[in-house]
Amino acid sequence: MQIDVCFTPDDYLASSASVVVVIDVLRATTSIATAFANGCRKLVPAATVAEAVALKQDRFPDALLAGERKGLIIPGFQLGNSPFEYVRNIVDGKTIIMTTTNGTRALNFARNAAAVFTAGFVNATAVCECLANMGRDVVFLCAGTEGRFSIEDVLCAGLLVRCCGLSATLSDKALAARAMYEGVRSELLETVMASSHGRYLREIGFADDVAFCLRHDIFAVVPQYCDGIITIA
């Protein structure tokens, strides 16, 4: 088993042989895990607002529209990108169409991989157990922020490497991500609060979201992206 980490989507060279885990801690893959933990049936990523609206009109008329631009809910949509919005009485049994700036783009990069999962701190161990059972080469694909390196995603990749890399061969970036996580695991919240994306979310009023997105293993779900739709693996 070989483990690699892509720090940004541009780092990723499509490989049909690999299992890909997409990580967008702030906040898409955290909200996705939260949605499934609260009963969401399927989640359809969309690249643009127009695509999301068209998907609802043409294929999923009962779906909730969700997503953000610049961190804020899209006008006319039912849900933004805060995990606190994805509560059971809203998402249980529902289909959600979601368009976000970074997470959706990263999923699109990975779409031709043999298997694609999504992970955050909130469901890290569940994803690692799934990967260990598969025993295949894995790439952790960090969504980043508008194509740029985002430390919170790489820290989560580092936790995942640590969690499932015991007997694996690690690339330099996998070694680096694990080292990075080890270096700040006792001050994870302070580090991410001081990061570029953390500071921005605090500025627009989402400091509580940052703290929530760093909670470990509060959900046991493993969202899997297949043929354009995310369901529970």
Member of 32, 139, 143, 155 binding its own copies (CB under 8 A): 155
Strand partners, 95: 42
CB of 7 to its own copies, least distance (A): 7
CA distance 195 to 81: 19
State yes or no: residue 146 binds its own copies (CB under 8 A): no
Please name the residue that has the structure tokens 């895990």. Answer: 33
Judged by CB, which is closer to its own copies: 83, or 198? 198
Member of 92, 182, 203, 208 binding its own copies (CB under 8 A): 182
Residue count, binding to its own copies (CB under 8 A) = 25
Strand partners, 179: none
State yes or no: residue 13 binds its own copies (CB under 8 A): no
State yes or no: residue 27 binds its own copies (CB under 8 A): no
State yes or no: residue 200 binds its own copies (CB under 8 A): no
Member of 3, 7, 105, 214 binding its own copies (CB under 8 A): 7
Cα radius of gyration rounded to whole Å, the chain: 16
Member of 28, 91, 126, 151 binding its own copies (CB under 8 A): 151
Decide: 210 and 201 in contact? Cβ < 8 Å: yes
Name the token pair of 193: 């609060």
Nearby residues of 205 by Cβ (< 8 Å), 6 or more positions away: none
Parallel, antiparallel or unpaired: strands 19-23 and 115-119: parallel
Strand partners, 4: 139
Residues of this chain that bind its own copies (CB under 8 A): 7, 148-151, 154-155, 170-173, 175-176, 178-184, 191, 194-197
